[in-house]
Structure 1
Amino acid sequence: MSRDAKHSTAPTHDLPRTHTRTRTLASYAGVLALGSALLLSGCFGDSAQDMVKSAREHLDKKDPKAAIIQLKNALQKDGTLGEARYLLARALLDAGDLPGAVIEADKAKAQGYTSDGLTALQARLLLLQGRPDEVVSQYGTRHLGTPADEADLQSTLVGAYGAKRQLPEARTAANAALKAQPDSVPVQLMNVRLMTSEGKLKEALAQLDAMATRSPNAAEIWQAKGDLLELADAPVDARIEAYRKALALDKKLPAAYSGLITALMRKGDKAGAKEAVTAMKAALPSHAQTFYYASIFALEEGNLKEATDLSQALLKIAPGNDRALYLAGRVAQAGGDLRQAESNFAKVVSTSPDATPSRIALAQVQLRGGDVEQAWTTLQPLLDGKPGPTGEALALAAEIKLKQGQADEAERLLARAAELNPADITSRVGLALTQARKGQEPQAIEALRKLSAEDKDITADLALVSLYLRKKDWSHAEEVIAGIDRKTPTSAAAPELRGRVALFRGDRAKAREQFEEAIRRDPKALAPANNLASMDLQDRKPEDAAKRYDAAIKADPKNVRPVMAQMGVRVTHQLIKPEEAIQQLGEIVRRFPGEAGPRLALVSLLVNKQDLKQAAAVAQEGVAANPESAELVDALGQVQMAQGERQSAINSFNKVAALSPRSPLGQMRLADLYMAGGTAADRDQAAGALKRAQAIAPGDAELAEKVAGKALMIGRPELALQSAKALQSVRPSFGLGWKLEGDVARARKDWPAALAAYRRADQLSKEAGASVPNTALAVAMHSVLVESGKAEEAKQFANNWVSQHKQDALFRYHLGDVALTKGQYDLAEQYYQGVLADSPDNAAAANNIAWLKLRGGRTDEALKYAEKANQLRPKVAAYMDTWAEVLGAKGQTDKAIEVQQQAVTQAPNVPAYRLRLAQLYVTGGKKAEAQTELKRLADLGPQFEQQAEVQKLQARIQ
């Protein structure tokens, strides 16, 4: 075989690129990188050297898998063979294993192996890893003695300079490659492709035709012709013919498959494209591009499990590739894993800021996750940059502005989107809904009706149903739903919507009937199953709720969601014993090894059972199988924290932060970990983590509240104030920023400043037209009045609030707490009884009433309320503690011990619960058990303020 065979027309792992008329030089970074393995001849033998010769023969025949086997066997016999490692690196690259190739090339160099071939290979590997700057800095001035290797290196430099958009330097490198091997077909093809970037498309096509005349059986030429015909806007059939001819000559050309599949999809021949993917699987089963296209088709067909497996396999081969990350993000998004999707999209945007699809996708995920401000920050470069925003970007920007309460700006953006793409239904529907929000409902309804008539999809119909439901116009809503039914007669959409309308109208029987019809139409649909399960739970029929998912599980056995939904009902409503749930979740994990959800649920149950060792093992297995899953790493960190493995937990939470750089979760976990330490150094570390978390999303209201609260807990009011001010800056019309400022002033006992901030927050809430009472703010204002000694003003405030918000049970519960603190037990019980009358399921009120009745010597009534609290909210340590105290007062010591043991199990780090357990042990004559608990408490020293009671009990059992 000639030395020309050393070069290939495209890197074996490179993913398909979007074809445009003005393809950027950056898109040629992978296309212009050359090479496969160095091909030498040899004969079969048993020695290591003979195996290397055999491997060369396999490489000559383009059989890298067989070569890999021989080379690995050779290295087992003699691990010092640097040439074998070098050849193995080339073979692995030909097979599409970029990471493996990098490892073996590095090993060859470390063993002292040097050759022009290894130099050229390492340069190419750097380029394929997306590191063109390093290629230029390390090899930009290098020249190699062997013509083939020199051509290989210079061709790689063409790709690197192209990625850096340095066209003159790329031309210099191309000329050097041509000089080294002027007759090489791959080098000539590299030059042809570069000519297209230089604006010489006609000349490039002419040169390509001349090459085809000279070498009609060179598959790479026909592949290149298909690519250039795409750039020339030639008829799609001509491109398809070129790619098919290339594959007829060489069925293992990944880039030819890529071009063929893309061309077929643009022609609308989905069946043909699918056949091409099937052929690609047969020819290149482990290639990156095979995983890429197969994942796309699996995602389109709704096979999320297969799409996930393929996209993850792709990422292992091409971990830094933008298209691999984007696809993995889309798959994660479709599967509901928004955090993983965000992480993947963010990685693309960080390395390729101009990647419009990834930036839009990242903003969409952030918006769906509730981070409106961050979504706007992500999207804004597309709105301000050139050549200007797309209609999709404008429509998304409008949605963000609507959520920010800026309807006028949203309408302006939607109008621009509609101008850019008048046929885009989403933009026009959004514009109509904006009109409705501005009070122009008749015009909006008319516009949506027209859109419904001209669109086969149901986007406009859904918007109409939403408007009519808001107006409680049931008849018109039913009329539109009938239209949806005509458009999609086999879909579950219409009966599900009818069920929702029936629920709005209070007709639960009809709602059930319609949801069941939706399931008959589409047994896989989870929304109607969820609705029916929710109704069953409201009717206190958890067994029926669990059965609602049977149809979905049977219809779609590969879908983990209905399986986990059913398990969730069974566990939450105690239809299954914890041991059985653990066993069944273990089976689900084995059935769905790539899914994080079952593992996370299993870890949670094991932690509740205090089986931390097994919980850690399950989490560790999950992380090993999916090291990029921030959720699994987070779960492992939490278990490590519970085990007291502090440094391991720190490492895990740091990894969470690295995997999800746009999420504050990792930093907040670190803050919690350091807060548990209690030392001054720990508080400093916690403050640092809180600062980093707050900086990630300064406009995130929930995060700002958490940061401020934790900052106050560690005695850092300045950090809490910083969080409040940041929220005020980003969202000046949102009252929470001032409420948090009031909390800081309250912590500092600056009562006037606290009241001023709270009143500002209240004013902003009213200006925003809030329809729901802000109980948290009312509680804060009342508390400040009480704490500052303004008793009359506090009383007046409370009376006004209760009279204006008679259904606000939370505020009345707060008044009960205030009375309890003051020792006004009768008044406190009166408030709690009122809360319980309005909210019979309020376990906290029942628990407090039990405690008050016990203090009043009414033990029988106390027991009734304690049992009620624990029935409403089982396994809550505080409620079990009250129950055990009441049982002890009634002389039911054995039962009291049993309940208090469960309380200690639920909250093992609360000394007061252990003290009550010790007291009960003493009363029950269990001296050994009492001594064990008392020693634990005594060892706490001054950290537990009730040491006098501990010593008193110890003296009693001497």
Structure 2
Amino acid sequence: MSQPQDQRASRPAQAPDQADGPTIPAGQEALVRRMVAPALPPGWTFLQASILPVEVRARYRWEGPPALLAEPLLAELRLAHASATSEGLLLGCFRLRLLSPRAEASLAPLREALLASVRAEEPAFVWERPVVPLPAVHGTTRWTPTPAEPGPPDPGPAANPEAPVEDPSALRVRRMWQLGRYREALVLLDDAIARSPEDPSLHARAAVLRGELHDTGRAAEHARAVVDRAQDSPGLLLQAATVLLSLGHEDEARRAADRVLSAAEAPSTALLLDVASLHRDAGHYASADALYARVLSLDPSSAEARIAAGTLCAWRGETSTALAHAEAVLAVRPDSATALCLRASARMLSGALPLALEDLDRATALDPGDPVAAVWRGEALLRLGRRDEALSETRRGGERSDDISNHVAAQLLISLAQLRGGDFPGLPEYVLRPALATLWKDSAATAPLLPPAELPEDPDPTALEALFEGALVRLRGNRSPVATYVRQDGSLVRLAVPSSPRVASKRALWRFVATGSLDEALAELDRVHALVPRAAEPYNYRGELFLYLGDASAARREFERAITLYGRSRWAYIGLAGAAVIEGRHEEALDHLAEGIVQAGAPGPTTFVYRGEALRCLGRSEEARADLMTSVRRNPGRIGAWVNLALLDASEGDVEAVRATVALLRRRAPGFVSDALEALSLDPSTDLDPDGLVRLLEQMLTMLRGNRASSCVTYFTRDGRLRAVPPSSDAEP
């Protein structure tokens, strides 16, 4: 992780040969250099470039007509990159600084040359004027031409045939993807594959990207193309196996995983861990166990292997072994959130509830986004009699997983807490009945269970409580979103549960983001509805799709249909509130949200942003701030909440807070901010005055239309193009 700027600046400057080394993979320096020092226009000379922990900087000098040399004319290019991987440099926002106040016209040719070099379009290109020196920064790679060679030396592949220099078009694909230009990225990638159809790295990238957008058919085709072509590349084979597994092709994924190790002459512990994780995620727990043991035989200090092996022990109910693994890690890493969670699970199984809760308090403070720790903490609170806190924390954990409907442990604990509070609404749809049936028939646990098939529609609460408690016993030490149990033959197996309609509906929504086709997305949702005619979810997601489009009346129609099918649908009431917010009916929005809480219980995550926005628009600032702060704390990727929070700060005259939030939005969503500035014809290089900041924020809210999501954040440009903000980490900013 890069150091904060103030820490980097405080370090003594080092010569290039004393630096920590490049912050991008070996062999990529030549490629980046070609990007920042292409064939320059007449009058411009490349001076120097540095790779910093968070960006690449290059300096240029004007050597044109003497009339312009009364003072040195310098320009600086900054390419901000999000991270560096074994596949290359991931680039984000692009800035060109004019470091002298004169001769701006001479900068235009340089700008055009660099644009042609670094990307296909300019979604985040900004002009900046402050005179900022290019410092000697700790941990950089720097190139400076020698006097004998005025141009940048470029050894390239000929001088270093082993260097994995990547096609610049692949870097452009990454940049487009990071900026949310999904369709532009896929067009570039498809063009690259058409030119080099046998290149397995291109197919691997296509498999990953299309898989993320739930284009399952084409993602699988590309993954299979990797398996066919990448005979001797463990990394590419691992990517293909991971994609195949995520698409449900488990047998193919396992075969590809086996080839990963055979392709590596002496597999590293990191590669062994990656393959072990793939086997674990595929439910091949014996294979994963063997690989974790192999890693520990090579490196007994491997914390990752110990935690993973200990987690499988906990899932099997082997409390003492799980505890030993956790203690071994905590002895050297006392602030490991995953080790604390593992030790807490062992303590929960042994009945040491207060000690377990201490561990879980620390674990959730260290990693608030971990659904497993949150669900365990909810269970500890419930067993200590703190029912309301337990219900809130368990819901929070379930909502952190991909789909709370499929999180069996969370659903069991929520139902148990509701039973004890006298507000149990009935068995959750889709998942719990078949899950309970499997556990009753096949689990090796001895605690009594009633066969779910014999449960009446309105069963006795006492019998239900015993049923839920017995199911939790059979889950042993697993509270993850992927439930497991120990069969009567002693083997650990994954609990097969049907996928809820919510999962398929969410995929249809992402297909709209990928294609921009409303008809295609609605057809996908129609297919889900045909499979599960009584499900409310397809209508809810249709409504959400229309919110993204800003069509409040169509959205309202779909949410009302959802309520007719399931009157307790929390998201349907939230969606009605969203439609009301779009139309400026803020009191009505508050009424819908209040009714949703009455019908469905606790507020959902999106409640806070819509309610906060409605309260802000009604002038109820204190209440609005409480909701908006809750929203951004729970989901830092919820861009609409940040925009509303900044507008609230602006209404109260706190310009510094507004600037801080706009700076955060530039980091989280540089392409979105750039598109909003372009829509307003504002110069990104100037510091916006308070009125300009408000105009920017209001424009961003307009471009979001009805989208207040935390992961699937879409917006529309001034010319109507659909774009997205790529999901960011849930870590606190």
Task: State the TM bucket, normalised to the shorter chain.
Answer: 0.3 to 0.5
Larger radius of gyration: 1
Q: Pick 1 or 2: higher relative contact order, CA cutoff 8 A, min separation 6.
A: 2
**Larger helix proportion of the pair:** 1
Instruction: State TM-score, norm by structure 2.
Output: 0.35
